Amino acid sequence: MRTVQVTPSASILVESMRDIGYSLETALADVIDNAITASASTVHILVEPDDPGFRIGILDDGAGMGAEELLVAMRPGSRNPLDERGRSDLGRFGLGLKTASFSQCRRLTVVTRRYGATSAAVWDLDRVAETDDWVVEIPDDPSSLPWVERLGQQGTLVVWERLDRLVHEVGTASSSNYFARRMDEAREHLEMVFHRFLTGEKDLKRIRMAMNGVPLTPFDPFHSRHPATIVEPSTPEVIQVGGERVLVQTFTLPHHRKVSAEEWERYAGRAGYLRNQGFYLYRGRRLIIHGTWFGLARQTELTKLARVKIDMPNGLDAEWKIDVKKASAQLPPGVRERLRRIIEPMLSTSRRVYTSRGKRLTDENRLPVWNRIQSNNEIAYRINPEHPVLQDFMKRIPGELTADFLRVIDFTSSALPMDALFADLIGEPESVGGGRMEDDAMRQILVTTVNQLLEAGVRTKEVATYLRHADPFRSDWARTETMLGALGLETSE
């Protein structure tokens, strides 16, 4: 049997490598992985949005490389994915630098410095297309390359030029605006993907990152420091996979009533709570994938606050089928059922965050404006004619109008716009409310309710307890408390 060497066409293959599926965000993250692996303490993302050609640079102060090591790094497929790597190595295939960069630009320059010696190499895809050969250019004078003056005694600078996938109409206002917007989105992505490095967890070196001098702020998707966040268990659960430890911990984010509007908006993310629920898989404490249940559950409105952190070591890449972009993964068969058992009670907790509040309004509310009536398989909400405010009003109207008034109440209850309420609550529950009463109306309703309670034998010191669990006072307690104080009533439970 004879063999024939079949060498791939450089011009064709390199264009195919550009379409693996990187986005700007995932491409930047892949290059930053190399900086972290090289023990960098700082990473600067440099952007020239006003340059006629637009440029992006990624500068780190890591170990740097020598000339020969740089050429190896510039070679596509420079490492065997089956090779054993250090725990802090975030790479896998030896393709990331090239495929990530090629996906965004047609000219990739790498300048690196070790022990004061500077080396540089350039991939120019237009030259590859012309020669149909795997040729890398070695600049005679690296000092003229963009941002090279910012290199310290050691470190690496990656420069992307001719950003044809990102910028189509160079020099136009629309192109500049789009470029700026995409960089802002990339910043948000990096703040979440590397949030544990930016924070500096226990046994994890803290890394400072900035974009054009503005520091990146770590974004913890679990809002783990908020007192209303439910963390179960307090110590991560351990799953053994192929001799390695996978750590799992569940989080239920706070209900929107327990956080500020700014916090609620921030932790929703661009895609919103519904799409961001699910597993958050970390590899070497770097976020790989999020916002998926891996087919173990459905994304529903009642579970939208549920998020599960999974920590896996890089030694399990093959089992989890981590792809080149480090942006997708699959659950190993042995892990799937274990995770299903872990998330079932957590999903129940997430549902209770929403449903328990509704139950409290009917089970614990001593002054309900609405009664929840369940008959057979139907649930109805009816205005409560026994409410003190309505009772007071009916005492003051002519007796012959009482029956008419009750019919108006019944009519109003039956006309509750359920379809519109359901649509609004599914879309933006945090923005749905009963509206704010004017001070005079609120004060009059409060005085009437207090008087009715006192007439019914409720002790003065217990009035605040009743009101604290009843709308509209419960939802606007600060104003209610001020008005109660003006009436000389106690407000503490």
Percent of the chain beyond pLDDT 70? 87
Take residue 62 and report the two structure tokens written for it. Answer: 């890591």
* pLDDT at position 85: 47
* pLDDT at position 91: 47
Cα–Cα distance, 396 to 380 (Å, whole number): 29
Cα–Cα distance, 34 to 97 (Å, whole number): 8
Percent of the chain beyond pLDDT 90? 41
* pLDDT at position 168: 65
SS3 443: helix
Residue ranges, comma separated, of all CATH 3.30.565.10 domains in the chain are 10-215
* pLDDT at position 162: 93
CA 455 to chain centre: 52
Q: Which CATH superfamily is domain 10-215 in?
A: Histidine kinase-like ATPase, C-terminal domain (3.30.565.10)
* Residue 209: Cβ-neighbour burial (10 angstroms; 0-12, 13-18, 19+): buried
Amino acid sitting at position 258 = K
* pLDDT at position 214: 97
DSSP string covering 264-289: HHHHHTTTHHHHH-EEEEEETTEEEE
- pTM of this prediction? 0.72
Cβ-contact 413, 406 below 8 angstroms: no
Residue ranges, comma separated, of all CATH 3.30.230 domains in the chain are 230-360
As assigned by CATH, the class of the 230-360 domain is alpha beta
pLDDT below 50 — which residues of the chain?
Answer: 80-83, 85, 89, 91-93, 357-364
Other beta carbons within 10 Å of 466:
18
* Strand ranges (E), 125-229: 155-161, 208-211, 214-215
Cα–Cα distance, 250 to 348 (Å, whole number): 12
Cα–Cα distance, 19 to 155 (Å, whole number): 29
- Structure confidence by residue, pLDDT tens digits, 335-345: 888 898 888 88
For residue 250, list its beta bridge partners: 232, 308
* pLDDT at position 464: 82
